[in-house]
Chains A and B, each alone.
Chain A
Amino acid sequence: MEAILRTEKLCKSFSNGGLQQHIIKNLDMEIREKDFTVIMGASGSGKSTLLYALSGMDTPTLGSVYFGDKDISKYSNDRLAVFRRENCGFVFQSIYLLENMTVFDNIMTGALVIQKNSPALVEKVGELLKKVGIGENLWDKYPNQLSGGECQRVGIVRAIINDPKILFADEPTGALNSASSRDVLDIFTELNKNGQSIVMVTHDIKTALRGNRVIYLRDGAVIGEHQMPAYGTDDIKSRQEGLQRFLDDMGW
């Protein structure tokens, strides 16, 4: 599969009270198209920092991030915003819905940044909402009137409404109960099955099982990688054992 994202000697440091903390160190890696890539690692290993650097949400301190043949690490903040709206979708652990907007408007806010308003767009939003299990009765509700799972499903629809080339997810089930988590992961699996490239950060094995490629980070460097068949095409038990062994080897 062709690489859609690639990093070269990627470094990210933060200054903390005058002290430089190097979170990502000289990282070379690539994200392949249509893969469901899962990034794992212990807390503080740099998973989320890597995700934000890959997605253009943050700029690296050193090194480069290539999207196709374009080095997005040199982009200005506004050019990165345009890059994000054209190529990326985001699902967050904290969901980050706009509190003062209804479910429907939250999605339209994401859609209209790049698309023109049309009946087809409104219809598409409705279809996607129904597809993730958000009934019409919830469309005019505000986020604080929904459950966490419902909010995350709305967040997913908002992330995919512009048909992004890559969907980035940062612990998407971190704040959900198990039933809601399963629903959300099913949506991710379904999306990937339909060709959606996904990069997901998680520290949960069950969540990681949904991916076909697991990258393990320690102290800002990739120390191992584990390949799996697409989810649902193999035996779940052996899949789980294989991943567990990999993680044990990584010192999980």
Chain B
Amino acid sequence: MQKILRISLANIRKHKTQSALLGLLITLCMAIAATALAGQYDLKDIFPTFADKYAVHKNAVFINSDYFNDGFMDILREDGRVTDAEYMDFLYSTGTKYLDKDGKDNALYMSAVTREMEHRIEHSDIATSLSQTEIAAIEHPVYLPYNANTAMGFREGDSFGIICGTKVYPFTVAGFYGSMFMPESNNGFQIIVSEEDYVTMMSVLGHWKLVMFDCVDTNESENIYLDFKNRIEEYTGKDAGMQMLPFYYSTLETNSMRFVSVVTYIMLVMAVIVLIAAAIMIRFRIKNDIEEQIQSIGVLEALGYTSKDISLAYTAEYMIISLAGIAAGTAFTPLLLNILHSTGENLSGYRADTAAAVLPVVLTALAILLLVFMVAFIGAGAVKRYPPVTAFRKGIAAHHFGKNVLPLKNTGKNIHVRLAMKGFLQNIRHNIGITVCILVTSIAAAAGIIMVESFGSDLSIARKMAGFEFSDYNITTVDYADTDALAEEIRQLPGVRKVLVGTFSLDISSWDYLYAYERTATLLPVAYEDYGECEDISPSEGRLPEHANEAAVSMTFASKHGLKVGDNITVEKNGVRKNFLITGKVTAVAADGMGFYITREGLHNIAPAINCHAIDIYLEDDTDREAFNDLLLERYGKSISDTAKDGTSGDTAEERIRAEAEKQIAELMKTHGVTHLEYTVRLGDKIISGTSGSFLIKSEQNLNKVLLTQMGGLFRTLHISALAFTAITAVVVCIIISILMEQTVRRQRRELGIMLSMGYTSKELMFQLAMRIMPAVITAVILGSAASVFLFTELMKVLFGEFNVNIPTVVISGIVMTLFCFGCAYIGAGRIKKISVTELMTE
């Protein structure tokens, strides 16, 4: 054993750089794989630990107060699986506008509770750096979920404003806590406010009931909810649609890991890629080492070493390198694991102390060692083919008898390219290894680039897949407003690029549904006059509707009901039934894929009562968004409830008169349902007049901001993961090519020396060596990019239903990858420069 180790260590010392680079690959692989596996193992406990420690109830259903009926609780309690159930009023709104810490308006799903109410949901500790005296001094304190601190950057003492119409309700962040059901921006935030502020918020947020229940088996919670919903629909005779929003244990548990799992899967894929690259490099190095050291092998065999001893020496060499790499990788694992834990807490919104698992780290190390042993031992088995005499004669590897490929007498303009291609063809088997290595890394690089592009800051992937328009502003008009006339007025405002009138708004409580298949399937009508004007809704298959009898459905819906383009679907509303021809399918993951795309005329035919009260406003790029928002709300967005309650005052008589007039208008509209009012007041010589025209907007949302707040954290994490993924791929490519070039220069020292003696410059030879691997690189990059596009598209289809890769980006990344490989190879071949001609030739 000692003699074997001595040979192994001698080999490692002889090829220090290559051994170090290979060790670095193993380090990367170990650190990434161990972190991903240990992270997955630890983080899966984060939600159960939190729920066990803090939750009062483990399941919840948000039910719109307008839909709720006390009988619902009896239905729930009748279920034998339910052990406890209660409900309470609370405030909740989708697309609640708020001012972030920088004073910019954003939007997310938000609920508000008092501390007392919160104790009925969970009893989380409050984390704050403020003293009780400081908190007591805050006029409007608010407690936000931990995620607002870790992911959104809020600190104690920061301002937090809730916006309603033109009015901002200011709060000051007093601390942070763990929320069971709305812990992070994707699910939404549950904020804790004082009892006085809760009363104020009652005119801002929607009124909902929070129904909470526990059951014997948490795995049954989903079935309990579904049965509960079905029985409620039977009981009321009305479809629950989006009037009931479930937050049950199993989904919360799955959701808590959903996003962090994506990150760990990315890391695992990366680790596998690095491991494959390392395995191929080991195989490649052993083969070359045996060829290069064939005479030394002969000497060792002549001295009495068996071929098994020599094979084991080679195997031991790579086991030693791997052990060193594993040790270094293990040292880095706690650091990476800390980052992953923080990411997991940020993405899930839950905080819980979980113990770091050792088992995944040990298993990762053993798996790497086993793979390295197998690859090295099988590769080193080639020594058997060389008994001493054959080895002394250098085998027959150095002898050439084959066909002369690319004869130089047919050389075109560039001898260097010709020699490079000749070198490539003469080493075709060796190049297959390179192709496989680069292929694997190309797949990773292309996937990384696609992810970086897809999960960029503009959330383009989410916009493409949502199935709704992401205009700059989506406003919902009040029932009495002439939406088309208002749209026309808005179209004339400065900075407006386009205005569309449709049905979709973010206020889910206002959604009205259509039904199909004898009311077993719910559809959310999305209607536009001309879909050609839409920018984010586009068909994945077929086309969008153009006539009243045409419709498009989501890919999810089509797949669930086996619908094809050209099929008919019968839709029902209030007893009216209409047939629609399916002209296309749309990738629409929002609203559970319920989107039913029809023309406005088509909507009128099936449901005349559903009006198009939504306006999508698209602004020019250079339009000042905030100034436009102020103008829009000032002209059309007076909040009836605000004006009616608060009234306003002013410095001048005219301002005071206008404020009083608006208050009166608001009062009349709110109390008596007046739809239009005008006033004229004479003040000295001045005539002051106005109308109810500034009370036309019921709600106004910037869908991009809602999306950004909800998905921003996830997208940022994915974006950073993808960047890291791409960067690691680049490092792996660099290492692979460096090992390759060092090996090539070592193996061909003599030939390179001869070429130098003939007058080839080292730069020309570096170019030739780099060019020699380019056919393999180009082939691998093309195949890798294609495979990556295919795999990524299929993966995204599974996750989101549909996905289209931006092909020009992949092409550009392929070109960059090719040039990067060339650059690495050229620089790697630079070691020729360090060796003199005579030294090279006489080696």
Contacts and interface: CB of A to CB of B under 8 A. Distances in A.
Q: Name the residue among B410, B750, B761, B842 with the largest chain A CB count within 10 angstroms.
A: B761
A144 B395 CA distance: 13
A233 interface: no
B404 A77 contact: no
A102 interface: yes
Contacts of B836: 58, 77
Contacts of B408: 101, 104-105, 108-109, 112, 117
B404 A140 contact: yes
A177 B723 CA distance: 65
B53 interface: no
B762 A102 contact: no
B691 interface: no
A77 B762 contact: yes
Nearest to A103: B404
Contacts of B398: 99, 144
Contacts of A92: 841
Given A104-B407, A108-B409, A117-B409, A77 B759 contact: no
Contacts of A191: none
B399 A144 contact: yes
A96 B750 CA distance: 8
B399 A110 contact: no
A58 B415 contact: no
Contact of A100 (B751, B753, B837): B751
Contact of A78 (B415, B419, B763): B763
16 contacts: A57-B837, A78-B761, A78-B763, A81-B761, A96-B750, A98-B751, A100-B400, A100-B426, A100-B751, A102-B407, A105-B422, A112-B418, A117-B409, A117-B415, A140-B404, A144-B399
A57 B401 contact: no
B634 to A, nearest CB: 72
A98 B754 contact: yes
A142 to B, nearest CB: 4
Interface of A: 52, 57-58, 77-78, 81-86, 88, 90, 92, 94, 96-102, 104-105, 108-110, 112-114, 116-117, 122, 125, 140, 142, 144-145, 158
A140 B838 CA distance: 28
B288 to A, nearest CB: 15
Interface string B745-760: 0000011011111111
B93 to A, nearest CB: 72
Contacts of A110: 758-759
Given A82-B761, A99-B751, A108 B838 contact: no
Given A102-B407, A112-B415, A144-B400, A86 B751 contact: no
Interface of B: 398-401, 404, 407-413, 415, 418-419, 422, 426, 750-751, 753-764, 833, 836-838, 841-842
B407 A105 contact: yes
Contacts, number: 104
A113 B758 contact: yes
B757 A57 contact: yes
Given A85-B760, A99-B398, 14 more contacts: A57-B838, A58-B838, A81-B761, A84-B758, A90-B757, A97-B754, A99-B751, A102-B407, A104-B407, A104-B408, A108-B411, A109-B755, A112-B411, A113-B415
Contacts of B758: 84-85, 90, 109-110, 113, 158
Contacts of A108: 408-409, 411
B383 to A, nearest CB: 23
Nearest to A126: B409
Contacts of B750: 96
B271 to A, nearest CB: 38
Contact of A117 (B401, B412, B419, B422): B412
A157 to B, nearest CB: 13
A58 B756 CA distance: 11
Nearest to A158: B758
B772 to A, nearest CB: 12
A102 B404 contact: yes
A142 B400 contact: yes
Contacts of B842: 94
Contact of A96 (B404, B754, B760, B764): B754
B837 A58 contact: yes
Most chain A Cβ neighbours within 10 Å, of B409, B426, B833: B409
B841 A104 contact: no
B760 A113 contact: yes
A152 B131 CA distance: 94
A69 to B, nearest CB: 21
Given A77-B762, A96-B841, A122 B757 contact: no
A222 B751 CA distance: 33
A166 to B, nearest CB: 13
A94 B761 CA distance: 22
Most buried by A among B757, B760, B764, B838: B757
B407 A84 contact: no
A81 B419 contact: no
B762 A81 contact: yes
Nearest to B836: A58
A145 B401 contact: yes
Contacts of B419: 109
A158 B764 CA distance: 19
Contacts of A85: 758-760
A245 B210 CA distance: 119
A117 B411 contact: yes
Contact of A84 (B757, B833, B838): B757
Given A77-B833, A109-B419, A145-B401, A114 B411 contact: no
Contacts of A58: 836-838
Contacts of B400: 99-100, 142, 144
Nearest to A90: B757
B687 to A, nearest CB: 90
A107 to B, nearest CB: 9
A144 B400 CA distance: 7
A82 B837 contact: no
Given A57-B837, A100-B751, A113 B759 contact: yes
Nearest to A115: B415
A102 B410 CA distance: 14
A192 to B, nearest CB: 21
Nearest to A144: B399
Nearest to A110: B758
